Structure 1
Amino acid sequence: MKIALGPVQYYWSRLAMMQFYETMAHMPVDIVYLGETVCSRRRELRLPDWLEIADMLAAAGKQVVLSTQVLLESGADLTTLRKIAGNGRYVVEANDMGAVHCLEGSPFIAGPYLNIYNPPTLDILAGLGATRWVMPLEMGSEGLAQMQQGRPAGMETEVFAYGRMPLAFSARCFTARNRNIPKDNCQYVCMDHPDGLVLETRESQPFLVLNGTQTQSALVYALLHELGAMKELQVDVVRISPQSQYMANIIDLFYGVMHGRLDAADAFEQLQPLMPAAPCNGYWHGKPGLDLLLA
C-alpha cells in the first residue's frame, strides 16, 4: 500500500503552507494532493503557487494530484476548475460531477465527495476516465469488500484513514457566522483556527468542527489498527489528512505499522497525544462514526 497526504482542509498562511510542503517533500509519502477544496475566498495560494509546490514535490519523487473545490458557487470558481482540469501536467482529483465532466476522457481520481457506493457507479466513472476512487467516509469495511469484488480492472482504491472527517459543505460560512460577520466580508477568520473551530454541546462535549463552509467531525478518524485489514482487502492507497502539528510523527507511525516496523497497538498509543481530539473509527465497523472499536 501507498501513503497519500490529502489536501489541506484548513486556511493556513502562505508561509505556513510553503514550510509544510517543504517538510512533506522529505517524508515517506508516495502521493500528495494539493489545492483548495473548501472555499474560494482562501486566496493565500493561487493555481500558479500550487503548481510551483507541485513541481517541488514531483522533483522529490512524489506523485502529485491537484484537487478541485467541492462546492462551486460562481463563474470564477468554474474558471478555476477549468484551469485545474486543463493544467496538462498533473492528474486531477474530481470532487464534484462538474469536475468529472471537465476531465472526461482523461485519467482522473474520483474523490470521496462523489459518494460512490456501488460497483455500477464505479463502472460509469471508470468509463469516463477514473483510475482511482476514494471510498466515502461513511462506508464500512463490509461495503468496501463488496466494492473490491466488483471494481473495474485497473481501478485503484484509496481509503481515508486519518483526520477529522469532512461531513458537509454549505454556501454559508459558519466560522464567519460565529463572529457575526457576513461571508462576503469574512475577514478570513478561518486562519485563526488552523485545525478548525470546535463546536460543543450544551453539556460541553465536542460535537462538530466548523471550518468555513465545511463541517467536520470533532473527533479524529483513525484507522491505524485497520491497516492489516485494508491490505487483505487489496486497498492500494491510505490517505492521511493534514493537521497543523505533528504531521511528520503521524506519517512515521503509519509508515512503521504499514511496513511491519511497529505494532499497531503501540503505534496507536503513541498517536493519541499527537491528535487534536479523541479518536474514532465507528464507520469502518458499520457503527456510528463517533464510536471507537479496538480489537
Structure 2
Amino acid sequence: MLKLALGPILYYWPRASVFEFYQMVAESAVDIVYLGETVCSRRHELRLADWLDVADLLIASGKEVVLSTQALIESGSEVASMRKIAENGRFAVEANDMGAVRCLQGVVPFVAGPHLNLYNGPTLELLAKLGARRWVMPLEMGRDGLAQMLRERPAGLETEVFAYGRMPLAFSARCFTARNRNLPKDDCQFSCLEHPDGLLLQTKEHASFLVLNGTQTQSALVYNLVHELLAMREMGVDVARISPQGSDTERVIDAFDRVRRQESEGAAAAAQIEAWQPSAACDGYWYGKPGLELRRQDHY
C-alpha cells in the first residue's frame, strides 16, 4: 500500500502548539513523519533535544521518524546544527542540501529531500551510491518526468511525491516577513509566529500570488494530488507527502488515508479537502502545466 508521510512543519508555531500537533499526529494514519526546522535557524521554540522527544513519542506510536535539515545554510552555527542532526545516531535524516549529503555519505542511509534538484536517472544513481534510500521528487516535476525517473531509478531506492500543501518555491538570505514590518532579519521579533500559514501576498488586483514564510517563498495556492494517489501507486511511487498547515491537518490526513485504502473516490476527497485548505487548490505541475492551474476536473 502507498505510504503517507507528514512533512516537516514549514511555519513557526508556538512550542505548545507544536507538541499538541504531534500528539494528534501520533494517533493519525500517517506512516512517516519528518521533524525539524528546515526554513530559518532563528526559530527557537524547539531545540534538537525537543525534536528528539517528539520523535520518541512518534516511534512509540509506530511511526517512522526522519529528522530534516535546513534547506539554506548561511552560517557556521547552521553548519554545526546540521552536523548534529546528521550525527544523531538514532533516526534517519532528510538531506535538504548537498552539505548534509556530504555529512551523511557512507554513515547512515538518508532521504534525498525535495530541494536537491534531482531531475535525471544518473543523479539518482549518484545519490543512491552515496547512501540515499529514498528521494523526494522536485515539486515542479510532472507525472511524465516522474515516470521517466521511475524507469531509471536504482533498485531499492524509494520514491516520494509532495502531494499536498503550499509549495516551497524559493529560499532567500533575506527575511521577507520581517521586511514587511520594516524590521531587519537579525531583529525580526519572530514575526513569523503571527502567521501560522504564512503571510499572503496579493497583487494590486487583490489576487492571491505568493506566501511569504520568513526566508522561504511559497505558492499561495495549495497543491493537492489526492485524486492521483492510486495512479501514483500504479506508477511505482512509494510515499505521498502531506505538508502540515495551521488547522485541519488531521482531516486532510484522514481524507488521503481513505483514498489510498479505496474507501473514497479521489475527486470527492479533493472537493471535500477544499473546505479545509487555507487557499484554493492547484495541481498544474503534475500535468505538465503552469503550477497555479487546476486541471483535476479535466481528468474526471
For 1:7, the equivalent position in structure 2 comes to: 8
Out of 199, 204, 207, which is 2:206 matched to? 204
For 1:162, the equivalent position in structure 2 comes to: 164
For 1:30, the equivalent position in structure 2 comes to: 31
Q: Which aligned segments of 4 or more residues in structure 1 are displaced greater than 2 angstroms?
A: none
* Mapped contact 2:227–2:265 kept (Cα < 8 A): no
Per-residue deviation, residues 231-290 of structure 1 (Å, max 9, x unmatched): 111100000000010011100100001101011122112110100000000000000000
Structure-2-length-normalised TM-score: 0.98
Question: Secondary structure of the equivalent of 1:93?
Answer: strand
For 2:20, the equivalent position in structure 1 comes to: 19
Distance 1:232 1:260 in 2: 13
Question: Secondary structure of the equivalent of 1:190?
Answer: helix
Distance 1:142 1:288 in 2: 14
Name stretches of at least 5 consecutive residues in structure 2 with no aligned partner.
none
**Equivalent AA in structure 2 for residue 11 of structure 1:** Y
For 1:104, the equivalent position in structure 2 comes to: 105
Aligned residues between the structures: 295
Q: Kindly indicate whether residue 44 of structure 2 is the aligned counterpart of residue 43 of structure 1.
A: yes
Per-residue deviation, residues 2-50 of structure 1 (Å, max 9, x unmatched): 0000000000000000000011000000000000000000000010000
What are the within-5 Å matches in structure 2 for residues 50-199 of structure 1?
50-105=51-106, 106-199=108-201
Shift of residue 171, structure 1, vs aligned partner: 0.4
Distance 1:227 1:148 in 2: 16
For 2:218, the equivalent position in structure 1 comes to: 216
Distance 2:83 2:57 in 1: 23
**Equivalent AA in structure 2 for residue 79 of structure 1:** A
* Mapped contact 2:161–2:241 kept (Cα < 8 A): yes
Distance 2:48 2:267 in 1: 41
**Equivalent AA in structure 1 for residue 50 of structure 2:** D
For 1:245, the equivalent position in structure 2 comes to: 247
**Equivalent AA in structure 2 for residue 110 of structure 1:** A
Distance 2:266 2:69 in 1: 33
Shift of residue 211, structure 1, vs aligned partner: 0.1
* Mapped contact 2:258–2:264 kept (Cα < 8 A): yes
Shift of residue 104, structure 1, vs aligned partner: 0.3
**Equivalent AA in structure 1 for residue 84 of structure 2:** K
Alpha carbon RMSD of aligned pairs, Å? 0.5
Distance 1:84 1:118 in 2: 28
Distance 1:268 1:133 in 2: 25
Question: Secondary structure of the equivalent of 1:157?
Answer: strand
Distance 1:15 1:280 in 2: 31
Question: Secondary structure of the equivalent of 1:71?
Answer: coil
Distance 2:201 2:135 in 1: 31
Per-residue deviation, residues 60-82 of structure 1 (Å, max 9, x unmatched): 10000000000011111011011
Question: Secondary structure of the equivalent of 1:166?
Answer: strand
* Mapped contact 2:4–2:241 kept (Cα < 8 A): yes
**Equivalent AA in structure 2 for residue 244 of structure 1:** G
Shift of residue 225, structure 1, vs aligned partner: 1.1
For 2:286, the equivalent position in structure 1 comes to: 284
Per-residue deviation, residues 103-136 of structure 1 (Å, max 9, x unmatched): 0012000000001000000000000000000000
Distance 1:143 1:232 in 2: 15
Question: Secondary structure of the equivalent of 1:112?
Answer: coil
**Equivalent AA in structure 1 for residue 11 of structure 2:** Y
Question: Secondary structure of the equivalent of 1:101?
Answer: helix
Question: Secondary structure of the equivalent of 1:15?
Answer: helix
Distance 2:156 2:49 in 1: 32
**Equivalent AA in structure 2 for residue 67 of structure 1:** S
**Equivalent AA in structure 1 for residue 23 of structure 2:** E
Identity %: 65
